[in-house]
Amino acid sequence: QKDGFRFFMEKEIYEQSDVVSDCMLGRIKDNETFFDEIDASIIEGIKEIKICACGTSYHAGLTAAYLFERLSKVKCNVEIASEFRYKEPLLTDDTLFIVISQSGETADTLEALKMAKNAGLKSLVVCNVDNSSMTRVTDYKILTRAGIEKGVASTKAFSTQTVVLWMLALYFAKEKNVIDNEVLQNELHALREVPKSLIVNDKIHEKTKRLSKRYLHGHGFFFIGRDVFFPLALEGALKLKEISYLHAEGYPAGEMKHGPIALADPELFTIALMPQNLLYDKIKSNVEELSARDSTICAVSPLDFELADDFIKTEKTDHYMLEFFEMLVALQLLSMEISIRLGNDVDMPRNLAKSVTVE
């Protein structure tokens, strides 16, 4: 039941604040994060983290890699599961192997997990479905508690995965004693604010409805961002592709000048993720270059930006991850509104299945 929402995807976007609260319940203490499902032995002897996943879950993994290196000071790399399986990867037992999956059934991710286990690596799955194939195979699991996700396009699974991985980064940081107490307190404070950042802002929802009228005619979209806002850009582009069938690409903003900027023209819409608290000046200059080449710019930012043709104004906050979650909701709404206006079946996009159990 859609509880008055037009689509399950819309309901699930609106649910994110509550499910993330559930996901954090009992997992944040005064000065640490904590999981019933794991203990400190999980990182004993670990020098590196490898993450494997597909699709939206892969984007959560890419986001986490920034947090593991920045906060936990552990080397981290992320691979698409279908690539990992056939590349004859070098695996060493000082690596913690993390797989991320909403369903716990994705064939490529499951096989990657089995390969890592067979090679003697410690494994952890971040998953929404207990008793799934992955939670049965892994050494450790952390459940994301997002509830059933019906929309084929993943929304609340991604926000809960990202929150779990951020909490995990802080758990490792504390266990390894590599985080300054003031930084830790600041991170915990921000974490507690995430449910607030995920509440749908009516003005932003209205704005995405208005933008959808013109954007459905776009012949191409670039979503650009830097740092964690790069995987967020990938996720924004994937959502738009999946449910609107419009061509969209996510790009690290600093890469545009190495080729893609050649595509810039007024019919090309650039959705620029411009957080106040992370590399603002850098992204600003990347967007200025695109604007000078006549790309139509939609800035997603709490700060005014005079070159923006369109604007989605997010709230001012004091942590870049809170901006991340606010922008996530805005991007989800934008793709959903475009899809609705195109008359598509938002919850059951063509050619896609909720769970990809074949390779």
| Token pair of 194 as six digits | 């995430």
Report the residue closest to ligand F6R, judged by CB.
Answer: 55
Q: Which of 15, 187, 227, 242 binds ligand F6R (CB under 6 A)?
A: 242
Catalytically active residues are 354
- Chain residues 102-131 in contact with ligand F6R, contact rule CB under 6 A: 102-103, 106, 109
Taking a C-beta distance cutoff of 8 angstroms, is the pair 280, 269 a contact?
Answer: no
Choose between 101 and 244: whose C-beta lies nearer to ligand F6R.
Answer: 101
Cα-atom radius of gyration of the chain, to the nearest Å?
A: 20
In angstroms, rounded to a whole number, what is the distance separating the alpha carbons of residues 356 and 339?
Answer: 22
Choose between 108 and 187: whose C-beta lies nearer to ligand F6R.
Answer: 108
Decide if residue 339 touches ligand F6R (CB under 6 A).
no
Choose between 81 and 121: whose C-beta lies nearer to ligand F6R.
Answer: 81
String marking each residue 298-337 x if it binds ligand F6R according to CB under 6 A: ----------------------------------------
Decide if residue 144 touches ligand F6R (CB under 6 A).
no
In angstroms, rounded to a whole number, what is the distance separating the alpha carbons of residues 69 and 12?
Answer: 30
Q: Which of 153, 170, 211, 272 binds ligand F6R (CB under 6 A)?
A: 153
In angstroms, rounded to a whole number, what is the distance separating the alpha carbons of residues 295 and 269?
Answer: 6
DSSP state letters, 190-245: HHHHHHHHTSPPHHHHHHHHHHHHHHTT-SEEEEEESTTHHHHHHHHHHHHHHHH-
Tell me the closest approach of the beta carbon of residue 14 to ligand F6R, in angstroms: 17
Helices first, then strands: H and E counts in the chain = 11, 12
- Chain residues 49-68 in contact with ligand F6R, contact rule CB under 6 A: 54-57
Using the CB atoms, write b or e for 260-274: b if 16+ within 10 Å.
bbebbeeebbbbbbb
| Footprint of ligand F6R (CB under 6 A) | 54-57, 101-103, 106, 109, 153-154, 238, 242, 355-356
